Structure 1
C-alpha cells in the first residue's frame, strides 16, 4: 500500500479510503442493502490487512449504526494511532428543529454523538456532508474551529458543493484565522466528470486533498450496461444520480469494458485507476460488500493506464447536469 499526505497536512493516509456506508444495520436508516455487524467486520479487518489505514463514515449512515460498527471493529483490529477515522455532519439525525444542518448547536451536539458511537476521544477528519444554505458559513466555520481546538477533531473537510461555495469557505476561514478545510469529498468518476471544470483546479491550486466518492458510479462502471445488483435495485439516490444520463453513459461504460478486456482485468480496476491518476486526487473512497472488491481496489493502484487507453475512456463523455449536492 502506498501512503500520501492528506492535502496540505502532515497526516499520512493510504491511497485508498474504505467507505463505510455499506456497513450498518439494515433495519436502521434508509439503506436496506447494508451489511450487519458480523459481516461488516470482515471487510474492515481485511482492509487493514491490505494496508488501508483510512476509514470514512458519517453520522447519518444507517442511523448512526455505521459509526458504531466501524468504531468497534477498529478498536478490535488496530491501535487508535494507526488508523485515520473520518466522519461527517449535516444530515437529519432526529425529527424536529436542530436535528440536522450545520448550526453551532447541531455541530457541537453531533460531534459528541459521533465520538460516543465511534468509541474514541477524537476523529482525525471531521467533514461537513453538504453545504447548509440556512446557516451562515461564518457560524459553521467558527464552530468547526472550536471542535478542532477542543481536541475533538484533528482536521476538517468538506463535501459536495459548488466551487464558489468552497472558495468562499476557504477565504472566510483565512480571514478570521479559523481552521481551514484540508479536504474535499466530491462526486467524481468516469460518467460524472463535472468536477474537472472548477472544483478540481481549485483544489490543486489550494493544495486541498480530494477524496472522490462513488468512483465506480455505485457499481455501474463495474458491470455490463443494464446489469443491476441488489443495492442498485433499491438505491433511490443512485437512480437520481445516474438514471437520467443512462443512454449517454452507456458508451463510456462500454469503453471501460473494452480496456478491461484488453488488459485482462476486472472493469473496476480500470475505472478506479482512471480516478486515482488525476493529480488532485488523494484517495478515492471505495465501498466493498464482496471480498474481491477490496482486492480489485488495491490492485487498481498498481495499474498505469496508457495515453491511448485514457483517450478511449474519456472521448465519449458528454456534459452532465451537476448532481450529488442534494
Structure 2
C-alpha cells in the first residue's frame, strides 16, 4: 500500500493529523523472547510503516528499559518533522526513591532521558502510562503543562485507568487551567471490550482522542492459537499469564465469527479484527505492534476491508462487555 492509500484523521479534539493505524514500538527490544531483538529488523519494520503512510510511532521509556526509544530514535533521523513521535512515563526506570511514578521530579527527569534516546528535542505526544495513586494529579498536570510551555511536548495524553480517575484529571485541568489530556490510549479489541463500560464514554463525551492498544489481543485474534492445543514453549501465550486470560469460551466464540468472515471476504483474521476497530467512531486509530514486515503489511491492508452493520453485530454478539476494575499488567 502506498502512502497515498493510507487514511488519515485528526486526533479528536485537536488539529493533529494522524494515520488511521499507528505503529506500536513495544516489540522493538530484547526484554522478552518474542520481541524483535535485532535493530536492523526493527528498522525495516519502521521504514515500511513510514513508507505505508503511518506517521505515528508509539513507544515508552519502559519498553526494554529504553531500548525501544533508542531503536526508534536511530530510525527516524532525518525525517523527524513528518512524524508524530510519542512516548510515555510512569514505570520504574531506576531503583530507589523517585525511580518511578508521576511526581514532578520523575516526570521532568524522564522526559529528558526519553528525548535523548529518541534523538529529538520534542515529543508530539507525551502520555502518562498509568494512574499514580501516590501523586496528586495536580502535581502531574503542572509538570506536563511546564513541558508544553517549554516546547518539549506538543500534546499530553493518558493511558489505561478507571473512568473516575480520568474524569478527575480532566476536571482538575479545566478548573486550574492546566494542559488538558488530549488523548487516551486504551486496550480495545474484539475480545477486550471492557473499555466500552469505562473510558470510551468519557472520551466521547469530552471529545478526547483515542488510540487503541493491543487491537489483536496479543495475537489471539490472528488465529495463531487453537483452543485444543497448549501454546508453544517460548511463545507469548506460554510466557504471559495475561495472555492466557483470553482463552475463554466466549472469546473462542468471537474467534469463530472472525474466521468465518475472513473466509467470506478473502481476508486474514487480523484484517477482519482491525477492520472492526476501524469502523468504530469512538476510536481514532488502533496501534498495531508487528514483529515482521509481513505482519505490518497485513495490518495495513485492513483499511480495505469493509464490514456491514450485520457483520459487526455478529462479531460482537458472543460478548457482554464489563469493566469491574479490570486489572492490566503492572
Q: How many residues align?
A: 318
Alignment match, 2:242: 240
Residue 66 of structure 2 is aligned to residue 61 of structure 1: no
Deviations 1:213-247 (A, max 9, x none): 000000000015346465414542xx325526523
Q: 1:277 maps to which residue? A: 279
| Aligned mate of 1:15, from 12, 15, 20 | 20
What is the 5 A alignment of 1:108-257? 108-223=108-223, 224-226=225-227, 228=231, 230-233=234-237, 235-236=239-240, 239-240=241-242, 242-243=244-245, 246-257=248-259
Query: Which residue number in structure 1 is paired with residue 33 of structure 2?
Result: 32
Structure-1 residue corresponding to 2:293: 291
State TM-score, norm by structure 1: 0.93
* Deviates further, 55-64 or 301-310: 301-310
Alpha carbons 1:184, 1:208 under 8 Å: kept:
yes
The TM-score normalised by the length of structure 2 is 0.92
CA gap 1:234/1:107 in 2 versus in 1, 3 angstroms: farther
| Residue of structure 2 equivalent to 1:324 | 328
Structure 2: any 5+ residue segments left out of the alignment? 1-5
- Residue 225 of structure 1 contacts residue 254 of structure 1 at CA under 8 Å; is this kept in 2? no
> Any stretches of 5+ residues in structure 1 without a counterpart?
none
Q: What residue number does 1:47 align with?
A: 49
Note the alpha carbon deviations across 1:246-274, whole angstroms, 9 max, x for none: 23311111111111111111000000011
SS at structure 1 position matched to 2:245: helix
Residues 145-166 of structure 1 deviation map (CA, whole Å, 9 limit, x = unaligned):
1111111100000000011111
